[in-house]
Chains A and B, each alone.
Chain A
Amino acid sequence: MTLAPNLLNMVVGDTHAIEALGSSGQSLTGLTWATSDSTIVSLSTDDPPVLTAVAAGHVIITAGGASADVTVSAGALPTGTVLWSNPGPGGCVGNIVPAVPSTNGVADVFAFSCDGGTVQAITADGQTAWSADTSHAITVVPDFNGGLVVANFLDSDHSQLASITRLDGIDGHVASTYTAQSGAQFYGLVVHTDGTVFLVQNCDTCQQRSVVGINSSGAGYAYVPYRTGDFPGGFCGPAVVHVNWHLKLPRISSGGASDTISIYDWPECFGEVNGLNVPMITNADTGTLLTWMMGVPGSPDQLLFGTALTNGTSSTVTVAQSVPGQESEVTPVVQAQDGSFVGTVWTDPGNGGDAVQLMVAFDSSGNVRWTVPGDQPQIATEDGGVIGQTGVTYDGNGIATGQIAALLTQSWRGNNYDPGFVQQIVSSLINKAKTLWAQLGGNPSSKGTAGREWDFKLVWLNTCGVEQPCGFYLHPANPLLHADRQVDATSQAATIGSFGSIEEGL
């Protein structure tokens, strides 16, 4: 049994709720509660009791063999003080995710156990409102109704999707279940503010991807960019086929109707292999903002950069460099309600040195407002600025205004939490988050997505292969060459050159 919170810092005159929890997180009543000094903290006669801070000092609160430390201060609590601490599921918290405030939900944050098997709804005053099983969860996304949407894997094959369930925000019960098609996997899970859950489902048997809408009840949209090609006939050269490529953006409504927005078209000779990467975020409640980088048709060694803003079914496309020496597409990260956005981009410094990553702010039309090297946007703030991954705070003009000690997890209510624990912290942050994280899909940027994804980086630090072809085996002189590697270079030529499909998701 534990008490929640099991650590409290209070100011004289404060009151605070406390509860006792059983081993599975259930609330216990009927216990005998006691305070080690009622002149410092007194207990009400409620079950469980309410604590009142009477005078400065330290006490132990006990109930049923469990205890909680309570410290009372006479004055305001300094920045960094732990307001309260909740032991969390199983006493080990893997991560915490902000819950979206709702009259249909009670959590301020959701706390996941270290093994991912349990989630607890933690209230703003540190109590555990409910616990639920997430042992079959592939991914979990807070919805905009105070609950959680859970994608569950199949027992017999954990890579397959079994179901999508919604955990109710009030008590955590399974409020609805969508059973996936047999053999289905999914790519992307988007929870719209209107309650619709979108996912791109792929199944082995049907040989196609489809967008599935669950619990559709409003007028939301999901967006799924893809590239398709057609062969108009003719050749670019001997045996080199001419292809017309198209970047398209289907827009699927909550009701299942769809439009396809044409973004960009380009001709190409089969073999130029213009790779395409299309980051996308939502665009201030009107549509999406997507960017891409590709080789220039006919000259794929040169780079082409595009940005498209969609509004309804129309799109405004700009094809141009955003910054000098640009080497990558702009990756949009956060967007403010006025449509301005902040992203990252890689640039060539022009002196032979390594590429430099810039944080770039754009206005709502895609014009560059300012750049800052060596940082990445994490949180857009109410004053039009941004907090970088380095903890530096920037105002609306990109001017550094301060440095915060650590990036805390901020709930939608503006409470701050120490990541890795369920501890609410007195923070010096004065700007509430405007947009926590924008995610691929149809979430309006006014509310964004509660919680950000993990961020994995591929960091190129090699010089080998950049300027020289070091490391190729030369047959048969290279002494490292295995005998079984002496193979016919043409034996798989047909496989190498084949292209099974002219349509691909991005």
Chain B
Amino acid sequence: MQINRRKLLSGAAAIAASSFVARPIFAAENSIKLGSVLDTSGVFDAYGKPMDKAARMAIEQINAAGGLLDKQIEYILYDTQSNISNYTLFGKKLARTDKVDVVHGGILSASREAVRQTFRKSNIPYFYNVLYEGGVCDRNIFINGITPSQQVKTLIPAAVKKWGKKIYILAADYNYGQITANWIKKYANEVGAEIVKTDFFPLDVADFGSTIAKIQTAKPDMIVSVLVGGAHISFYRQWAASGMNAKIPMASTTLGAGNEQNILAKEETEGVLVAYNYSQELKNPLNKKLLANYKAKYGSIDDLHSTAVSHYEGILTWAEAVKQAGSVKSADITKVMEAGLSIDSPSGKMTVDAKTHHSILDVHLCEFRDKKMEIIESFAQQQPLDTQAVCDLNANPDDNQQYEIKI
């Protein structure tokens, strides 16, 4: 990461300008305030923008149906501009100045950790609705994103069965990439596969020439990509440009989570194996309705990815909890959630796991065909086993940390 004066200055200017960013939909006095921090610009905006759009749609739908507890929901979003220090700043602002009732937001694991303690101290329920590496144990947070035991456990054995036993991992160099790489190793070992090599890349690396040559030296049966963000997109492009996409198959835990397939060419993603909680190709009526609504509101469903849908579902889960609790207070919502609240959502049934505040959900193994995630097989109601192994909020309600899961 090069920090030069330009970046520093533009950051400072952005912070100065950001006081204009708050855009409440309703300014009614008697409203429920839903706060959010998302990267709706910068290198992670491919994740953040559709999440924001999905959130607006969810809130509009709830408000159109009469709101919650006879109050309208007011949406307060801060654009964190793909800059982690903005999360700290705007997280505090949401908690202290805006005094919101709930927060849905955060994308990268680093961003979640930047705001988690702020909301915990202020006793504001925090919903983190993104796939991540697992292990967060905190009674104030609710997570409906898919974790490695749900995703990797489905993906790796299927890939090994399909292609063979030698795996080469390429991962982003921060907590998500590091921990996910460990999980891949664990589930690979369980089915008798071996990891020939793991390479980590900082988020701004965009030249993968030497890596592609090294992969060929190692001669793996497949590569697994845990790459994240705009710069890492270059890998898929350079991989296809060297013609390797026809020779060594690829599985990924991240490709498609930001709808990367839309900026890549067809042949650059064709045949890549992935596993998510959601695909646009799901045929259930709730998903059809979601796609139709999104299309009606925004004109196209191209950018609606699994991360945006799980953000949407997080808001629906919270709304259901508020309805059942008859209150927006943290203690009341937590009580309802911990009773095993369950909703039917476009991605399938989602149930809150009381022990970990994570989600029990359906996982779909998919393959990219013509830029679409075609579903190969669905696995119903998968438990967040990774976090369950280390975290028990029933026994230790005051626990407050992210466990590094020993593998």
A and B associate: no
Chain B positions near chain A (C-beta within 8 angstroms): none
Chain A positions near chain B (C-beta within 8 angstroms): none
